[in-house]
Amino acid sequence: MSDGALSQDEIDALLAGVDSPSPGSGGGGGGSEDDRKAMQTFLSGASGGVASNLSTMTGAQVTVKGPELSWTDRDGFLGTLPDTVTVIKADYTSGFPGEHLFLMPEATAKAIAALMNKEENIELDEMAMSVIGEVVSQIVGSQITDMTNKTGNKSIASSPPEAANVPKATAALPGGNFLEAAYDLNLGDGAAHKIWEIFGSQVTGNIAKALSGGGAVHQAAPSAGMGAMGGMSGMGGMMGGGSGMPGGMPTNVQSIQFPSLNSPAPTAQEQANIGLIMDVFMEMTVELGRTRKLIKEILSMGEGTIIELDKLAGEPVDILVNHKLIAKGEVVVIDENFGVRVTEIVSPNERLSDMN
């Protein structure tokens, strides 16, 4: 019988603001086997992209085995982890919104960061965490592309990955049962490495349904207009034939015909006009951030001076064409070169407000 004292794992979980493991909760899962099989097929096909991205970014010949998928819960999953893990949150924000994250042992995170930075005996500082986050960003981006092609859902997006090295008991895992995908990695260093990818149960069900041809699950809020019509219908029932009074809802109602919102196709003249400027060069700039300095501060700059910008780490960078903001994006690495993945197109209204 328990003496009422909290275990160290429960104390760590409470301090981290996550659910503590429930006594007696098993390691098995209660999720759908059909969903697991659908995700197994999809992730097995996408594992080549995981190996390719890791090989490109680390410069090593990385091979990936798996993944092996199973339903589990917090208590059962924590039992398979080392004491300290690197957790990378990459929740889906649209398409199939919900919980999604990666975990890896501290040693695996150090090995990947060391290969990326070409540095031995690396520490998992802020820079190393940024590198691990970028690795996961590339993997998730590849998976989203594959998922979009297979489901036809073009609205799939995820939040920028956020990496942290934490005790396993403080890892913010999904509640209840969730899907665990375990990958075995060979980084060419002779050590055994592992990465776990976690999907919340709702995300798993929605993705599996879409992969099976069922389409995405959308939860729409009740329409205010429909609610008002429902109220009018109720009023009509009270005023109408039940009491023998005239003035019930009219029966010869016709549905409203809304005009088409599709833009008309451009005329031949318009196409010709656009064609005149298609080969005009424009300057595209990616702006990491800005700051304002006094002349005396600028004159005092030298080698090694650090300039603090007005953007926080992880914030989207601005994409400008001819010095006008048109989009936002996140920095990626492509074959040892920097690039930018567009994450948001600035609306026309925002562009007009900037002009004013």
All domains of the chain, ordered by start, with CATH? 8-211 (3.40.1550.10), 276-355 (2.30.330.10)
321: β partners = 284, 324
pLDDT confidence of residue 183: 93
Residues above pLDDT 90, as percent of the chain = 28
Q: How do residues 251-305 score in pLDDT, each as one tens digit?
A: 555 556 555 555 555 666 666 666 777 778 888 999 888 899 899 888 888 888 8
Contact 330, 316 (CB under 8 A): yes
Record the tokens describing residue 237, joined without a space: 């029932």
Task: List residues bridging with 330 in a β-sheet.
Answer: 341
Residue 188's pLDDT band, with cuts at 50, 70 and 90, is confident
Task: Say if CB 100 and CB 198 are below 8 A apart.
Answer: yes
> What is the β-pairing status of strands 324-334 and 337-345?
antiparallel
Q: What is the per-residue pLDDT for 333?
A: 86
Looking at residue 39, its pLDDT comes to: 93
Query: What average pLDDT does the chain have?
Result: 78
If one compares 100 and 9, the residue with the highest pLDDT of the two is 100
How many alpha carbons lie under 13 Å from residue 49 in its C-beta half-sphere?
A: 17
Residue 2 dihedral angles phi and psi, to the nearest 5°: -70, 140
Please answer whether residues 113 and 128 qualify as being in contact, where contact means their C-beta atoms are separated by less than 8 angstroms: yes
SS3 sequence, the chain? CCCCCCCHHHHHHHHHCCCCCCCCCCCCCCCCHHHHHHHHHHHHHHHHHHHHHHHHHHCCCCEEEEEEEEEECHHHHHCCCCCEEEEEECCEEECCCECEEEEEEHHHHHHHHHHHHCCCCCCCCHHHHHHHHHHHHHHHHHHHHHHHHHHCCCCCEECCCEEEEEEHHHCCCCCCCEEEEEEEEECCCCCCEEEEEEEEHHHHHHHHHHHCCCCCCCCCCCCHHHHHHHHHHHHHHHHCHHHCCCCCCCCCCCCCCCCCCCCCCCCHHHHHHHHCCCCCCCCEEEECCCCCCCHHHHHCCCCCCCCCCCCCCCCCEEEEECCEEEEEEEEEEECCEEEEEEEEECCHHHHHHHHC
208: how many CB neighbours lie within 10 A of its CB? 24
CA distance 16 to 168: 11
Q: What is the pLDDT of residues 55-100, one digit of tens each?
A: 888 788 888 898 999 999 999 999 999 999 999 999 999 999 999 9
Per-residue pLDDT tens digits for 16-27: 555 444 433 344
Instruction: Give the pLDDT band (50/70/90) at residue 1.
Output: very low
CA distances from 276 to 73, 280, 326 (A): 61, 8, 22
